[in-house]
């Protein structure tokens, strides 16, 4: 019996379960038939396992992603994009124009020079504030992008846009799209894991939600304090065989319930979550035991010392997760929302994340994972070159959607390069300028996914991460 030919729908190839008549019907002129075919394809996809590994749509540069989200909007001017012109303008009155509208619009405003000194780091001469002591050691592995722009100056909407492409929330996160397109390499762990700070970012869990995609693709959070996953270990009196029999009975009842409710992805995801939780009981305890790592590795991430221990543990766990086949891991560190006292606020945050992030990149490189792991560092927007209202010497910066620095490492990016530029004040991107949708398209491209083919039928049309299409930023590719 000949093997059925592969076909592609919703951006993913699968064996054709339909007859020629079914296929012709799916290619018919009516929108209803297209939607119906998409639903049939999704049912087939789910039947083979919603997180089963799937082939990439294009040649991938990376197979997994670690996304470092600096919640609150770190200042590019005070981290990776020096603006010496501000030294001449420090505390001179800033006159707003249509290109720079601040979130804090009352009172007089003043230009503010950076309180940090800068240097050229690495053989490639990457601009970096001197308080990034450890990251300078891996500077040649970084690729800066200074041309990204977003639409919002408000934290929740800007975070939603950076994470999901939609300012108003409710759409799938980048990690959800990635696992939808590629599945996961380890069926005993979630495909998309989120490691938040103690306090959740503005907008909450919608930043890593599945949106209109089936619920299987939402991010799974590990707690920042205490047990990362509650109730992971069963009661000592309950044996694994006892649990298995209970789950089998529950699955039988749920299947009867689901038979009367076809197409309910939330119910299907809940049923699968019981099975995944059962498998995780065997897989996760060892994964979470960071004491298995050598003392040298723990020290590399800043574990066992302050203020790096908490974020260092999350970075090391991220490396262990991707090493075990998790497709997408997102870490949060914040908040970087420094409207005043930016020297103290940013200085404290850099001390918390500098050593762990440098350790993560060095460890990925040491273990041979960096080439196939895309690491992304960014916030939801940049900061302005001016201070809102003068407050003694505790100067800060306001929100700026027109200029920011995003940097990447590994995964096929152009290491040791700076792409794009902002103006002499850091107020606006002026070279290689792209909307965040193009950055999203580029990240998908590096992971082997084509934004125009990675679609899902919802609300009467095929939807995609970029909303309505975008372009790969080719200057970022190695």
39 and 81 together in one domain = no
The strand pairing partners of 333, in sequence order, are 70
Is residue 151 scored above 70 in pLDDT?
yes
Question: Is residue 186 domain-shared with residue 332, that is, in the same domain?
Answer: yes
Contact 185, 59 (CB under 8 A): no
What is d(CA 217, CA 272) in angstroms, rounded to the nearest whole number?
A: 12
Pairing of strands 118-121, 126-129: antiparallel
Residue 97: per-residue pLDDT? 54
Whether the Cβ atoms of residue 417 and residue 143 lie closer than 8 Å to each other: yes
What pLDDT band is residue 20 in, cutting at 50, 70 and 90? very low
In the chain, what percentage of residues exceed pLDDT 70? 75
Threshold 0.85, pTM exceeds: no
Model confidence band, residue 144 (pLDDT cutoffs 50, 70, 90) = very high
CB 54 within 8 Å of CB 364: no
Phi, psi for 14 (deg, rounded to 5): -155, 165
Alpha carbon of 271 to those of 148, 178, 265, 431: distances in Å?
Answer: 40, 22, 10, 49
Q: Which of 22-26, 222-226, 368-372, 422-426 shows the lowest per-residue confidence on average (mean pLDDT)?
A: 22-26
Q: What is residue 15's predicted lDDT score, i.e. its pLDDT? A: 36
Predicted confidence band of residue 287 (pLDDT cuts 50, 70, 90): confident
Residue 233 lies in a domain: no
44/82 same-domain check: no
- CATH number of the domain residue 441 falls in: 3.40.720.10
Residue listed under structure tokens 């089998």: 248
> What's the pLDDT at 395?
86
Mark whether 223 and 346 lie in a shared domain: yes
Same domain, 44 and 170: no
437 with 356, same domain: the answer is: yes
User: Comparing 59-63, 202-206, 239-243, 366-370, which segment has the lowest mean pLDDT?
Assistant: 239-243
Residue 470 pLDDT greater than 80, yes or no: yes
70: Cβ–Cβ under 8 A, 6 or more apart, which residues? 333, 334, 336, 349, 353, 377, 378, 379
Verify that 367 and 403 share a domain, yes or no: yes
Q: What is the pLDDT of residues 383-415, one digit of tens each?
A: 999 986 555 567 899 999 999 999 999 999 999
pLDDT > 90 in the chain, percent: 66
Question: Is residue 107 a part of any domain in this protein?
Answer: yes
More reliable by pLDDT, 110 or 364: 364
Q: How many domains does the chain have?
A: 2
> Is the pLDDT higher at 325 or at 272?
325
Tokens matching residue 332: 């949060």
Give dist(CA 130, CA 119) in Å, integer: 6
Least reliable range by pLDDT among 30-34, 42-46, 290-294: 30-34
Residue 54 reports pLDDT greater than 50: yes
In a domain, residue 164? The reply is yes
Residue 311: CB atoms within 10 Å? 27
Mean pLDDT of 156-185: 96
Give the closest residue to 202 by CA, choosing from 349, 335, 383. Answer: 335
Residue 23, pLDDT above cutoff 70:
no
DSSP 112: -
Q: For position 317, what pLDDT does the model report?
A: 95
Within a domain: 82: yes
Q: Which residue has the higher pLDDT, 314 or 244?
A: 314
Q: Are residues 470 and 417 in the same domain?
A: yes
Span 250-281, pLDDT tens digits: 667 777 777 777 766 676 666 666 555 555 55
Which of residues 422 and 92 earns the better pLDDT score? 422
pLDDT tier, 457 (very low <50, low <70, confident <90, very high otherwise):
very high
Q: pLDDT at position 98, please?
A: 45
Q: What is the model's pLDDT at position 46?
A: 52
On whether residue 20 sits in a domain, the answer given is yes
Query: pLDDT class for 334, splitting at 50, 70, 90?
Result: confident
Phi, psi of 77, rounded to the nearest 5 degrees = -65, -25
Compute the average pLDDT of residues 451-466.
96
Indicate if 80 and 175 belong to the same structural domain. Answer: yes
Residue 345 included in any domain: yes
CA–CA gap between residue 128 and residue 139 (Å, rounded): 9
Q: What is the mean pLDDT of the chain?
A: 85
- What pLDDT shows up at residue 7? 33
What pLDDT does 385 receive? 95
Binned at pLDDT 50, 70 and 90, residue 96 comes out as low
The answer to whether residue 235 is domain-embedded is: no
Residue 97 sits in which domain range? 64-228+294-476
pLDDT given at position 264: 67
- So what's the pLDDT on residue 389? 55
**pLDDT tops 70 at residue 105:** no
Side-chain half-sphere CA neighbours of 132 within 13 A: 22
The yes-or-no verdict on residue 33 having pLDDT over 70 is no
* HEC per residue, 24-42: HHHCCCCHHHHHHHHHHHH
Question: What pLDDT does 244 receive?
Answer: 63
Do 30 and 178 have their domain in common? no
**191: in domain:** yes
136, 139, 293, 302 from 296: Cα distances, Å:
20, 21, 8, 10
In this prediction, residue 102 carries a pLDDT of: 44
Q: Mark whether 144 and 1 lie in a shared domain.
A: no
Query: 301 and 372 in one domain?
Result: yes
């Amino acid at each position: 019996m000949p093997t059925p030919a592969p076909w592609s729908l919703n951006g993913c190839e699968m064996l054709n379960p339909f007859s020629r008549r079914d296929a012709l019907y799916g290619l018919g002129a009516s929108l209803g038939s297209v939607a119906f075919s998409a639903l049939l394809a999704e049912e087939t996809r789910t039947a083979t396992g919603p997180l089963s590994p799937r082939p990439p749509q294009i040649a991938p540069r990376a197979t997994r992603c670690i996304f470092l989200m600096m919640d609150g909007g770190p200042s590019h001017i005070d981290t990776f994009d020096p603006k010496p012109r501000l030294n001449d303008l420090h505390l001179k009155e800033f006159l707003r124009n249509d290109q720079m509208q601040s979130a804090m619009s009352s009172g007089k405003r003043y230009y503010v020079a950076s309180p940090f000194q800068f240097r050229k780091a690495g053989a490639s001469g990457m601009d970096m504030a001197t308080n990034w002591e450890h990251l300078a050691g891996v500077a040649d592995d970084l690729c800066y992008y200074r041309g990204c722009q977003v639409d919002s100056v408000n934290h929740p909407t800007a975070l939603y846009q950076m994470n999901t492409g939609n300012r108003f929330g409710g759409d799938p996160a980048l990690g959800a799209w990635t696992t939808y397109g590629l599945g996961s390499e380890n069926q005993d762990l979630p495909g998309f894991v989120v490691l938040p700070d103690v306090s959740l970012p503005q907008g909450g869990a919608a930043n890593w939600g599945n949106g209109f995609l089936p619920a299987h693709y939402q991010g799974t959070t590990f707690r920042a304090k205490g047990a990362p996953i509650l109730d992971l270990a069963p009661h000592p009196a309950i044996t694994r065989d006892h649990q298995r029999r209970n789950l089998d009975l529950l699955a039988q009842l749920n299947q009867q319930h689901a038979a009367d409710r076809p197409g309910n992805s939330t119910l299907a995801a809940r049923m699968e979550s019981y099975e995944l939780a059962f498998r995780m009981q065997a897989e996760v305890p060892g994964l979470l035991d960071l004491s298995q790592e050598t003392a040298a590795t723990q020290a590399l991430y800043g574990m066992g010392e302050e203020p790096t221990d908490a974020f260092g543990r999350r970075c090391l766990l991220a490396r262990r997760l991707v090493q075990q086949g998790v497709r997408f891991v997102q870490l949060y560190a914040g908040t970087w929302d420094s409207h005043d006292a930016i020297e103290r606020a940013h200085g404290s945050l850099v001390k918390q994340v500098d050593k762990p992030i440098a350790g993560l990149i060095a460890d990925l490189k040491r273990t041979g994972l960096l080439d196939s792991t895309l690491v992304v560092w960014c916030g939801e927007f940049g900061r302005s070159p001016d201070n809102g209202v003068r407050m003694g010497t505790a100067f800060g910066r306001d929100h700026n959607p027109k200029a920011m620095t995003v940097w990447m490492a590994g995964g096929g990016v152009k290491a040791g390069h700076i792409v794009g530029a902002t103006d002499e004040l850091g107020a606006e991107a002026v070279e290689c300028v792209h909307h965040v949708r193009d950055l999203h398209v580029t990240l998908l491209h590096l992971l082997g996914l084509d934004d125009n083919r990675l679609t899902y039928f919802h609300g009467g049309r095929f939807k995609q991460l970029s909303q309505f299409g975008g372009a790969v930023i080719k200057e970022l590719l190695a």
